[in-house]
Chain A
Amino acid sequence: KAGVTQTPRYLIKTRGQQVTLSCSPISGHRSVSWYQQTPGQGLQFLFEYFSETQRNKGNFPGRFSGRQFSNSRSEMNVSTLELGDSALYLCASSLGTSGNTDTQYFGPGTRLTVL
């Protein structure tokens, strides 16, 4: 079974621009969660999508948004980029069911650099 894939792997943008990151989950997984990883703040939860609906949301400004498609693929969008948005953005997929079967599996991440 193919793992979680993320595109692009690397991205360089300038302040004020917007960016869209993509995540394709493991086949059969309906939940996609997004995390931001930075040296200063560590790993922080952005949001989770399940069956095309945002199910959980972390403490990030509204510039960070996402969506999920009917095939469970998810996109994350960051508008009006700031220097502090430079980070590794990780996507994780899971079945989406409650309970101990719902382990999250991570993609390789997208490294975003904002200049």
Chain B
Amino acid sequence: AQTVTQSQPEMSVQEAETVTLSCTYDTSESDYYLFWYKQPPSRQMILVIRQEAYKQQNATENRFSVNFQKAAKSFSLKISDSQLGDAAMYFCAYRTYNNNDMRFGAGTRLTVKP
């Protein structure tokens, strides 16, 4: 069974600095997708970034980038120039190529200090 592990329940970062959130997963599949979702307090979950497992190049979306290590089954999220609006719960998620059953990690609560 595919599982997703986020080992950091909470993280904090100073405004304008960089923080990295960790995620590992377990799968025997070769084709799959990985996602980072952000859920601000009492607000909607939104997609931050996604990575296709067949792509060696790490995905980047503005201040957000990932470090995807397929052999190590690791998928970390780096947030550069952190902003107050980045404070949220961040979920790492996995799904296989042909199945919409997404598996989520337990989440990391990110606090941004002014």
Contacts and interface: CB of A to CB of B under 8 A. Distances in A.
A31 B101 contact: no
Interface in B59-107: 91, 97-107
Q: How would you classify the secondary structure of chain A's contact residues: helix, strand, loop or mixed?
A: strand
Interface in A70-112: 90, 92, 94, 96, 98-100, 102-109
Contacts of A16: none
Q: How large is the interface on B (under 10, 10 to 19, 20 to 34, 35 or more residues)?
A: 20 to 34
Interface residues of A, number: 28
A45 interface: yes
Contacts of A44: 104
8 contacts: A33-B102, A43-B104, A56-B100, A92-B102, A96-B100, A98-B97, A98-B98, A108-B43
A103 B102 CA distance: 10
B44 interface: yes
